[in-house]
Structure 1
Amino acid sequence: MAEETAQFHPIDLSKSALIVIDMQEHFREIASELLPALTPIIAAFEQHHLPVIYTQHGHDMMSDNSMLLKWWGKEGSISRFSPDWHLMSELEPYLSIENPKIYRIESKDRYDAFLHTNLNRILRENSVESVVITGTMTNLCCETTARSAFNRDFYVYFPTDGNATLNKAMHDASILNLRYGFAQITTLDELHKVLNTL
């Protein structure tokens, strides 16, 4: 059995969706490094009328009794509708485009973007077969969502330069595990080249 990768296929984005996870003000210090490379791939997906789905993580501090909130505490968590909860302002031009394939999920309150949201329904209604996972944080919401997508029988592409977290060790550990059994590891440039052939 291969030590580094279990599967590799030619990249097929014809029935794909781009999931942009939690590019919020709360994560600006981490997420801002992604913007120069991430915004062109967002634009390319939009131009090809492929779904682009933005998630926003947040908690209702009055009623949420989740383990996630207990783990980080209220002071370390994102309060829904607070300034930190909003998507980064640099993404607004992409959100304001009148395109029925742009979606915004504001109910995300777990690492897994499928839980308590309509993400699975959006993907199924658009006949999506593969997903591209991007955003923050590599080892928490992005990795968890990638695993969850795989378990729902979506093929997962995970660009190394399209995800970010606190440090390289955490990032690399996630990439190693995902490559082995959950996702095809790629780059944004490779994905962009494939989109240009559609």
Structure 2
Amino acid sequence: MKKALLVIDVQNEYFTGKLKVTYPQNSLDNILKVMDYAKSNNMIIIIIQHTGLYGDTFVKNSNEWEIHPKILEKSYDYIIEKTKPSSFHETNLEEILKKENITELFISGYMTQMCCDTTAREAFHKGYSVEFLSDATGTIDVSNEIGTISSKDLHKATLIAQSLRFSNVMSSEEWMK
């Protein structure tokens, strides 16, 4: 079984922009650790970069759109640009996975309930085995017309939903054992 680590949307928007990730606190450090682990275990590492088509977040070529510099210091195999929450939507991700004979995907990055969740669900529907790294993903507090939820509760709710059917949810420490 060939494996790939997806590093989804670890961009400056989540550190210096309007959408500062607040939970879990050490998610970036864990993403960097799992990237090292994946490389040392001959896994394919695919960085996904979100481009916003509307609004004032993830504006192409802005500082906030750029991949976090610590991510780019690590070894990786591909960078894919996307414009929707799914890393599969109108990208060459599936083409790369087929070319590399990947059967198992590991989900890391931002945000837990949006692009990570959507990508994991679509990967499951496409027949991939999916592992969702609980502390190498992260999110923000959300408040809208429907209600308010803390980043901790939103993260936990997404992980619970993922574990029902779509992914094997585990910490980066458990994954690296």
Structure 2: distance between partners of 1:123 and 1:129:
8
Tell me the secondary structure at the aligned position of residue 23 of structure 1: coil
> Which residue in the other structure is 1:164 paired with?
138
Question: 1:140-173: per-residue Cα shift (whole Å, max 9, x none)?
Answer: 0000000000010001101111110010111111
TM-superposed deviation, 1:49: 2.2
Q: How many residues align?
A: 161
> Which residue in the other structure is 1:103 paired with?
78
TM-superposed deviation, 1:50: 1.1
> Which residue in the other structure is 2:148 paired with?
none
What is the TM-score when the length of structure 1 is the normalising length?
0.77
> Which residue in the other structure is 2:21 paired with?
30
Q: Aligned pair 1:173/2:173, yes or no?
A: no
RMSD: 1.5
* Greater percentage in strand: 2
Aligned equivalent of 1:49, options 24, 27, 42: 42
**What letter corresponds to residue 30 of structure 1 in structure 2?**
V
Within 5 Å, give how 1:178-193 maps onto structure 2: 178-193=162-177
**What letter corresponds to residue 95 of structure 2 in structure 1?**
R
Percentage of matched positions with identical amino acids:
28
Aligned equivalent of 1:21, options 8, 23, 30: 8
Tell me the secondary structure at the aligned position of residue 84 of structure 1: coil
Structure 2: distance between partners of 1:160 and 1:59:
25
Which segments of 5 or more consecutive residues in structure 1 lack a partner in the other structure? 1-13, 61-68, 194-198
Structure 2: distance between partners of 1:164 and 1:105:
20
TM-superposed deviation, 1:33: 3.2
Q: Is the 8 A contact 1:21 1:136 kept in 2?
A: yes
Deviates more, 1:169-178 or 1:28-37: 28-37
Aligned equivalent of 2:127, options 153, 157, 160: 153
Structure 1: distance between partners of 2:104 and 2:9:
20
Question: 1:93-115: per-residue Cα shift (whole Å, max 9, x none)?
Answer: 11xx4xxx611012x00000100
Aligned equivalent of 2:105, options 120, 126, 131: 131
Structure 2: distance between partners of 1:104 and 1:59:
16
Structure 1: distance between partners of 2:44 and 2:96:
9
Greater gyration radius = 1
* Greater percentage in helix: 1
Structure 1 stretches of at least 4 aligned residues deviating more than 2 Å after TM superposition = none
Q: Is the 8 A contact 1:133 1:146 kept in 2?
A: yes
Aligned equivalent of 2:67, options 87, 100, 105: 87
Q: Is the 8 A contact 1:46 1:102 kept in 2?
A: no
What is the TM-score when the length of structure 2 is the normalising length?
0.85
Tell me the secondary structure at the aligned position of residue 52 of structure 1: strand
